[in-house]
Amino acid sequence: MNDLFSSFQASSKEEWIAILKKELKGESIDTLNKINRVEEIAFPAYFHREDQKSTFSDPGLVPYTRGIQPKSNDWTIATGFRIKDPEESNREIIAALMSGTDHLVLEATNADPIDFHILLKEVGLSFIHTTFRAKSIEQVNQFLVFVKEAPALIEYADNDALLKTDLKAYLDKNPTLKLYHVDASSVQQAGGTTWQELSIALAEGHELLVKQLERGMDCDAAAAAIHFTFGIGSKYFFELAKIRAFRTCWAQIVSAYSPKHSCSLAATITARTGFLNTTLKDPYTNLLRQTTEAMSVVLAGIQHLNIQPYDWYSANSNTAFTRRMATNISLLLKEESYLQVVIDPAGGSYALDALTETIAERAWSSFQWIERNGSISNQEVRQTLASEIEEKAAIRVTEIKDKTEKRIGINIFPNPEQVENSWTELPLCWNNLKPLILEQTL
C-alpha cells in the first residue's frame, strides 16, 4: 500500500484550488463554503491534507474518536414496545425477535408492577440486550431481579433516586448492566444543535460520574454504569461528526479521574431516531429519512440503534408495520450493505475530521461554561440552556416556513393523497421543553 501512494505525485493545496476554480467555470469558490445557521458552523465542501489539524488514533484506541471497536462495526437492532398487556406484548416481542431484532426496548406505560415472567416468556435474555424504560423504582428492582446477569440498560427519569437506592449489588453481579442514563436525544427533539446536545450530555454524565465517586464507587465501575442516548438529526455529516466528537470529549472527562483501565474511557451510546423531521402526511418518505439518519450514526460507530416507528406518536398508528420497517432498515444496512464489518469508513476524511473537531470544541466550551456556573443542576444554568435551545428551535421553524430548509412531504412536494392521521402528545423534552415537530409548525 505504501508503494501505491509513492507512485503518485502529491498535489499542493494551491494546485487543488486552481483545479476547483477551473471546474466552477467562473463561479466563486465561496459557493463551496456552506454555513449552517442553526449550528453556527461553517462547513467547507473541500479540504486538503494541509488542512488537517491533528491525527486521530486508530479505532479501538483512546480517545475513541474513531470508535471503540477494533475488529468490527456491529450494533444491536433495538425495537420498542409499550407495555400494556404483558401477554400481547410478549407476542409482539417474539415476532420482532424472529424478524431480526436483537435488542428489546421495553417502555412501561404506568408505575404498576409488571409480570416479567409473562412479558418475557421464552425470551433468551442472555443472547440479546434489553433496555427498560421504567416509571418507578419498584419496577427497576423487579426488572433487575428478573434479568439477573443478562445485558441490560435502565432508562429512568430520576437518576438521583436511583443513586439513593441501594442498587450496587446488581452492578457487582452484572458487569454489563448500565444503570444510569443520560437522555441527550430530548435536546435534539426540542430543536437543539449537535453541540448543545453534546454539552448537556457531557455535563449530566460528569455529574453522574462524580456522584457515584462520592458514594464510594471506583472510577472504572462508575463510568461503566453510565450510558448515553443521542437523537439523530437530518444533517448527515453533522450527525456523524457529533458521535465522534462526543466520544472524544467523554474520554477526556473520564481520564481526569485516573481510571485503571482504558476501556473505562469508552462511552456506551444508543442512537435513537426522533420526530422533529417526521411527517404523517407523507408517511413513506419517513423510511428514506430514517435510513440516511441511521446510516450517519452507524458510520460514526455506535453500540445500539433504536429506529422508532415513525407513527409511534400518531392517532392512527400501524406499529406492527412501521416497527417491522424500522427493523428492516438496520437489516438492510447490515445484510446488504455490510456496514457492520467496515471499521470507521469515515476515517481519513479531512472534512469530517475538521467538522468533528469543530463540534467537539463548541461542545467542550459550552460544557466548561456549565461547570463554571454551578453545574447542570443549577436552575439558572438550566434555564439559560433551555432558552438557547428555544432560540435554535425558532430558527428551524423559520427556515421551514420560508423554505430555506426543504423537507419533502413537509414544505415541498406535498403528498397528493390525503392521509387521515394526526399527532398525539409527545413527552416533554429536556428541562420540560416542548417537543418540536416541524410538520406541526406549518
Q: For residue 17, which phi and psi values (nearest 5 degrees)?
A: -65, -35
Q: Which residue is it, cell 412531504?
A: 409
pLDDT value of position 5: 66
Residue-range domain boundaries for the chain: 13-46, 76-357
Distance from C-alpha of 269 to C-alpha of 226, rounded to nearest angstrom: 10
Q: What is the pLDDT of residue 108?
A: 98
Find where cell 449552517 sits: 36
Q: Which residues are bridge partners to 232 per DSSP?
A: 273
Retrieve residue 172's grid coordinates. Answer: 457487582
Q: What gap in Å lies between CA 442 and CA 440, rounded to an integer?
A: 6
- How far apart are alpha carbons 171 and 346 in whole angstroms? 35
User: For the purposes of burial, counting CB atoms within 10 Å of the CB of 343, is it exposed (0-12), middle (13-18) or buried (19 or more)?
Assistant: middle
> Cell 416541524 identifies what position?
438
Q: Output the CA angle 307-200-129, nearest 5 degrees.
A: 35
The predicted structure's pLDDT at residue 32: 86
Phi, psi angles (nearest 5°) of residue 34: -100, 135
DSSP codes, 179-207:
-EEEETHHHHHTT--HHHHHHHHHHHHHH
CATH tag, 76-357: 3.20.20.240
Q: If the chain, 442 residues long, is cut into consecutive pieces of 10 residues, what is the mean pLDDT of each piece?
A: 70 88 89 91 84 82 94 97 97 97 98 97 98 98 97 97 93 95 98 98 98 96 98 96 98 97 97 97 96 97 97 95 97 96 90 94 98 97 98 98 95 94 97 98 94
* CB of 265 closer than 8 Å to CB of 251: yes
β-pairing, 304-306 vs 269-273, is parallel
Q: What is the DSSP letter of 84?
A: S
How far is residue 136 from each of residues 130, 162, 168, 289, 430, measured CA to CA in Å? Answer: 17, 10, 18, 34, 19
Q: How far is CA 93 from CA 96, 139, 303, 327, in A?
A: 5, 19, 21, 12
Residue closest to 104 by CA, chosen among 135, 128, 75, 86: 128
Chain centroid to Cα 292, Å, comes to 14
